[in-house]
Amino acid sequence: MSKIHVTTKINGDPTEFLCEPDETLLDVLRDRLGMTGSKEGCGTGDCGACSVTVNGRLVCSCLVLGAEADGVEVATIEGMADGDQLHPLQRKFIEHAALQCGICTPGILVAAKSLLETNPNPTEEETRYWLAGNLCRCTGYDKIIRAVMEAGKEMREAS
């Protein structure tokens, strides 16, 4: 099986890699590029821990082939902060204790960022439905929902 050459952009960085035809984008990120911020909780698109955006669209990177990244722009948790400036969502997650173990946190942050870009002023219900594809087993979601809504508020006030 010969490998596929892929040219892509990840968090703004021009990136090239070789991958197997059946290798997922998640495997490429984690095992070939050393970007282990995206997590594999299920490998079947059910838990959302591997959430990234491809050309701005929220996807489970375990359901995208590495080869499909050719010519697109991928954004992962590693690109969310601007240098040492945390994204408001990242700050609010820490301030609101919206994480316990933290394994689902990268995926939830990527998904929440996508929500606020799509809908800057979501209701609690909209937030809950948008994040329904991201499993968290520790928190019961209460503090996560509060943190996302607080971040949205701060971002609205800042803009």
54: left (phi over 0), alpha (psi -120 to 50) or beta: beta
Residues 122-151 that bind another protein (CB under 8 A): 125, 127-129, 131-146
Judging by DSSP bridges, how do beta strands 73-75 and 4-10 pair with one another?
A: parallel
Choose one: 53-61, 90-98, 114-122, 151-159; the region binding another protein (CB under 8 A): 90-98
Q: Which amino acid is at 119?
A: N
Element (H, E) at 106: helix 105-118
35 contacts another protein (rule: CB under 8 A): yes
Kindly identify the residues of this chain, within the stretch 50-89, that bind another protein according to CB under 8 A.
76-78, 80-81, 86, 89
Instruction: Please list the residues that pair with 73 across neighbouring strands.
Output: 9
Binding mask 92-121 toward another protein (x if CB under 8 A, else -) reads -xxxxx-xxxxxxxx--x------------
CA trace torsion 31, 69, 7, 82 (10° rounding): -80
Q: Note the residues at the interface with another protein (CB under 8 A).
A: 1, 20, 30, 35-44, 46-47, 49, 76-78, 80-81, 86, 89-90, 93-97, 99-106, 109, 125, 127-129, 131-146
